Amino acid sequence: MKIDLILPPGRHSWNLDEGWEQTLREMGLLREVKQASPKNADEILQWATRSDATLMILMGGDHHLYFLHDDARKRKLWEGVRPATVCFCYESILNSKFPDSEKKSGSATEAFSHFVYCDELDEAFFQQRGVPAIWLPQCVDHRRFHPPPAGKPRASLVFFRGKLDEQFGYEQRRRTLEFLKKEQLLATCENEISASQLMDEYRKHALAINLAGNFGGYNVRTFEALASGSVLFQFLPENRPKNNKLFEHGKHLLNFSGDGLEKLAGMIREIQNHPEQGARIADAGRVECLANHTIERRIHQIIEFITEAFRTGSRLHIGCGDNILPRFKNVDCRSLSPFVMIDDAGTLATIPDDSHEVIYACHVLEHFSYHKVEEVLRNWTSKLKHGGHIYLSVPNFRYLAWKYLWKGKIDQVLPPLLGGQEYPENFHYVAFDKKSLTRVMNKAGLVDVATFKAREIPFTRHDCSRWPLSLNLVGTRP
């Protein structure tokens, strides 16, 4: 498997930018990485349409890469991108202070094939739009965020790093920090710092605090602090039941609410006075974080999610080869991708009857004996829901005969007529013209058989149905 990565312009966080690049590279999965900006948007789009990766991950693809899908032309280009396109939505959508949040994410659902969202409340947004989506919390590059060497002392003041911009409503953050500073509990860090400095600051301090922000769940600071072996004082987000069960109060971290500053100060002093208690919490928090919330773990979960999504679609792609269609269940007798279901195209034993709205088979039917094509096609038809459509593309014998008579070069028609023959399954046993294929489709129970223009069908973009030699017919199961 090879994965392409698209990063947004500027810097957001190591764990939302370079951390993914480094982790994919160390896992041996990275094909190529691009940092996009409004200036190079067209270049990125053209690069994406040429990619032969297995999947493509777009970090902040909805909000921070909006310029890649902000008009109909760009969204249309994404239909032709061959890999599955995974939009990693690390900002809140329905409860966001960013302008036009739902508009930007809605545009993304018309461009990309799969979605990961980090705020659990956004589940309703993706359900309404009917796109494959999964909730996964944010995470950490644990190779860079880690505790200091054993025995190295750490300051017992509370370390904080985060935005304080008034436009995002961070007054509560300011009040909390001013209170802790007045109580001489805060290790201040007023200026912007580099990622490496941030990693060092966590290692210097035994305690860390994460305050309420624009994002509705645990943000990257939660996981940075836990992976760094700090005792984390974590603001508990409201109305996030799944998020709030990720870590246990008093075991992995210490939660607090926004209206109990005196209580928060008391918790901090309790840990300062009992460092052995703090060490137990920090160790347990780090173990839990590394078990379930690393970038590496998220990558495995995304692959599992995409694999499952390809196995549960309501559209079926028979004989897919290496042309893995997004939002299709892709079936082939050979596994050229982890997203392919292995099955015999003649029997489709793993596919239930009456289960698919669309079936597509490009240059597959001719691989069966002319004694069996009607039986095979009848079986395919049984996998359609009533009212569903089957799109067939086969080599057009009329075109091949004309080409031979015109050119007189038999070597130009043998491969499409008889198959490439470079592996056992790539032999052809029957030929079709429009009349004979229509007759077989009718006998298999299909009605309203008609030609279709492959160039007008998005899912044909990467196969030979668009070649002049192809005969393309669509039929309906009544």
- pLDDT above 90: residue 48: yes
Chain centre distance of CA 291:
21
**C-alpha to C-alpha distance for 158 and 156, rounded to whole angstroms:** 7
Q: Which residues lie closer than 8 Å to 274 by C-beta, 6 or more apart?
A: none
For 345-368, the pLDDT digits (tens) are: 999 999 999 999 999 999 999 999
Mean pLDDT on 247-264: 92
DSSP 3-state assignment of 276?
Answer: helix
Residues 333 and 343: beta-carbon distance below 8 Å:
yes
User: What is the predicted pLDDT for the residue at 11?
Assistant: 79
Beta strands at 470-476 and 384-395: parallel, antiparallel or unpaired: antiparallel
Mean pLDDT on 423-430: 91
Neighbours of 18 (CB within 10 A): 17
User: In whole numbers, what is the pLDDT of the chain averaged over residues?
Assistant: 94
Percent pLDDT > 90 in the chain is 83
Confidence of residue 339 (pLDDT cuts 50, 70, 90): confident
Question: For domain 313-476, which CATH number applies: 2.20.28.160, 3.40.50.150, 3.20.20.10, 1.10.10.10?
Answer: 3.40.50.150
Highest mean pLDDT among 199-203, 423-427, 460-464: 199-203
DSSP 410-453: GGGTHHHHH---SSTT------B-HHHHHHHHHHTT-EEEEE--
How is residue 281 written in tokens?
């919490």
Helix (H) or strand (E) holding 156: strand 155-159
**Virtual CA dihedral for 385, 368, 447, 380, nearest 10 degrees?**
-10
Confidence of residue 327 (pLDDT cuts 50, 70, 90): confident
Beta strands at 155-159 and 186-187: parallel, antiparallel or unpaired: parallel
User: What is the predicted pLDDT for the residue at 374?
Assistant: 97
**C-alpha to C-alpha distance for 152 and 203, rounded to whole angstroms:** 9
Nearest residue to 387 via CA among 366, 356, 365: 356
Question: For domain 155-292, which CATH number applies: 3.40.50.300, 3.40.50.10070, 3.40.50.2000, 3.90.550.10?
Answer: 3.40.50.2000
Instruction: Count Cα atoms within 13 angstroms, Cβ side, for 363.
Output: 25
- pLDDT above 70: residue 376: yes
| CATH 3.40.50.2000 boundaries in the chain | 155-292
| CATH 3.40.50.150 boundaries in the chain | 313-476
For 157-179, the pLDDT digits (tens) are: 999 988 776 666 678 888 899 99
Give the amino acid at 126: F
Confidence of residue 305 (pLDDT cuts 50, 70, 90): very high
Residues 158 and 209: beta-carbon distance below 8 Å:
yes
Q: Which residues lie closer than 8 Å to 76 by C-beta, 6 or more apart?
A: none
**C-alpha to C-alpha distance for 201 and 228, rounded to whole angstroms:** 10
Mean pLDDT on 416-441: 94
Indicate the pTM of the whole model.
0.86
- pLDDT above 80: residue 2: yes
- pLDDT above 80: residue 259: no
User: What is the predicted pLDDT for the residue at 336?
Assistant: 76
For 427-438, the pLDDT digits (tens) are: 999 999 999 999
- pLDDT above 70: residue 65: yes
Mean pLDDT on 251-260: 90
User: What is the predicted pLDDT for the residue at 181?
Assistant: 93
Confidence of residue 319 (pLDDT cuts 50, 70, 90): very high
Q: Exposure pattern of 341-353 as b/e (b: 16+ CB <10 Å)?
A: bebebbebeebee
Level-2 CATH architecture, domain 3-135 = 3-Layer(aba) Sandwich (3.40)
Residue 371: burial class (beta carbons within 10 Å; 0-12, 13-18, 19+): exposed
Residues 316 and 331: beta-carbon distance below 8 Å:
yes
User: What is the predicted pLDDT for the residue at 86?
Assistant: 98
For 181-231, the pLDDT digits (tens) are: 999 999 976 667 899 999 999 999 999 999 988 899 999 999 999 999 999
